[in-house]
Chain A
């Protein structure tokens, strides 16, 4: 299954982008870790937001509260599934800044595709850049159009 997935990615989009997950599964027991206990139930994570600092070693203890659910982090490409009453630990280094959606990866009912949460690695530079750009762009576009108009007027 994994092979096929990697194969398809490579085929479609080139090996470069299909780079392996940045998160690394590691043995538990290290000293300086940020630990979170997350409950998975239909159709949400609780807590639904996990906030860490870039470079932090993160330990997520996932507990299944009803059916089997998944825990997939966009961008980090980590994926773990947890059954009812099961606990699993996911440990990795948060090396990429930004906010990443957490999604259920096991079909757990009608609303399954919408079982989402978020994983935030601060400082969330991409977010602030996006906000700034989205607010500046309309004005930049206006100024640009006025410049075009002026040039056209001068030309006449």
Chain B
């Protein structure tokens, strides 16, 4: 069905090359260092500092609007954050080494899920009023991520050592993971029968050509994008060259092995899109005051912790309490309508909750697109003067703030929410058909109503009240 990208010679060569990814990493790492430096020593004015403008406007927009829809987790292929830990623990950058240095602590079974990522994301979101506006805060956050990756990756292992930070802790990795099921790319085995008969399992154990999956999954049995970081090791290490990268129908694997932690991730992302819209670009001055955590432009002192607490309560209340509670109500209604005692309420809650994945994703796309249209001009000026030192590398430093098509922003955001509503309904109907075959339409109605109400709420918060 999909196109096997390894049929393309160049892609095949890149995927099998041990230099390709290190090359990407060197580029992204260089950019990362410049951005951190800019955050630390550049101007404290956020919209003139590359660490804010190029990370939170350019990179974030590219991630949401281009990378995830086209390539799912493809960002994780080039992400600089775990690069150091990977290189140091392997003792190699390009060549395949035989040993991975690791303290050998077992990753706790209780944490073998994405709850830590859920909380990590909320943590970042709570401090987002500082991170999004203070270059130093962004620099510290990025450094912290890299440091944690180093510590966690080199201390813990599951079946192998590897990308433990990415898999269990990274606040970004959590949502890239669930949203990657909406992406058009996947790493899968070509022929499942080959994998079933294979006794070598070099995709897990590794061989002289590639490492065993650093993401702790069994590549041969992959059915889900969420935990595959597209690092391409299995392409190299499979003894039968049975692993490939292919295009596919977006959303195909969204409902494979539904889990409560992922369901909550969906709510966290959807809810924070709503809270962000209201707090950052809304008109309620009370809320505006809350996110003004500090008058200090460096943020080093005088943080008003009361406001941090209030914002935390709002975010947590919406994402972990209100949305799940509302959904529980609709899930109960669905169960009642289904007249089916086989499915537990918990299961119904969890599976239908996946409607929030596309709805939240599209709400974020609308948010980010609006951000890009209104503040994208900062990118043009900042590339010429990334540190805000008064340089003019490309002659564009003087480009002034120019909103592009500001009148269209609400329509772009509205269109993405509408598209999100349609996708969410498709998910809902899919779940209903799976469990309640001849009551599929009827049992979809409650969650469709939930989608309708939440879409309207997003329109009110975001678009054009």
Contacts and interface: CB of A to CB of B under 8 A. Distances in A.
Interface of A: 1, 4-5, 8-9, 12-13, 17, 42-46, 48-49, 72, 74-77, 96, 98-103, 105, 107, 109-118, 120, 124, 126-127, 130-131, 133-139, 141-142, 145-146, 149
A127 B465 contact: yes
A142 B463 CA distance: 24
A137 B279 CA distance: 27
Contact of A43 (B292, B374, B401, B410): B292
A130 B452 contact: no
- Interface residues on chain B, size class: 35 or more
A74 B281 contact: no
Contacts of B463: 127, 130
A74 B407 contact: yes
Contact of A114 (B45, B288, B445, B452): B288
B414 interface: yes
Interface of B: 44-48, 129, 133-134, 279-285, 288-289, 291-292, 295, 297, 299, 374-375, 399-407, 409-410, 414, 417-418, 421-422, 424-426, 428-429, 433, 440-441, 444-445, 448-449, 451-453, 455-456, 458-460, 463-465
Contact of B410 (A105, A126, A135): A126
Contacts of B424: 138
Nearest to A72: B403
A84 B129 CA distance: 25
A105 B400 CA distance: 10
Contacts of B453: 135
Given A44-B285, A101-B281, A109-B297, A142 B464 contact: no
Contact of A141 (B284, B421, B449): B421
A131 B459 contact: yes
B421 A138 contact: yes
A43 B424 CA distance: 36
A111 B129 contact: yes
Given A127-B464, A135-B455, 17 more contacts: A77-B406, A77-B407, A96-B407, A101-B409, A107-B45, A110-B133, A111-B133, A118-B283, A131-B459, A131-B460, A134-B417, A134-B452, A135-B456, A141-B421, A141-B426, A141-B429, A146-B441
Contacts of A46: 285
A109 to B, nearest CB: 7
A75 B404 CA distance: 10
B47 A118 contact: no
Given A116-B281, A130-B464, A134-B418, A142 B425 contact: yes
A95 to B, nearest CB: 12
B402 A113 contact: no
